[in-house]
Amino acid sequence: MILDKFVDVEIKGKTYKLCYPMKYVWEAERHLMDKSFPELMLRVASGKMPAVGDVYTIFKYALLGGNANMTEEEADELFIQAVDDTSSNAIFRAAFAALEKSGAIGKQKKEPAAPKA
């Protein structure tokens, strides 16, 4: 089975992929101002916007996870360009969608049925 875990975003006319392999889930969580993804989710669920630092963190690591040869400096620059093109809220929604598709948060992945004996 192949699962599509990518979210495409266009920045300055070029398409990039956002994705969260587990390595980047861990790395992003280490840098969150809210300290964990569950805390960030609670903040958003309560109607509060995430801190800009958290938007930057989840977008940066989603870019790094989706674009194998991208450097951290390139991801930093793309964040600035994306904010200039749209809004931090739209950037957050795209990166959060990639995080949900990873299976690290959100709905639990369905386990395959056990083989019958």
How sure is the predictor about 44, in pLDDT bands with cuts at 50, 70 and 90? confident
Average pLDDT value for residue range 59-86: 94
- Per-residue confidence (pLDDT) for residue 42, from 0 to 100: 87
Residue 11 β-bridge partners = 14
Domain spans, the chain:
7-102
CB 94 within 8 A of CB 79: no
1 pLDDT more than 50:
no
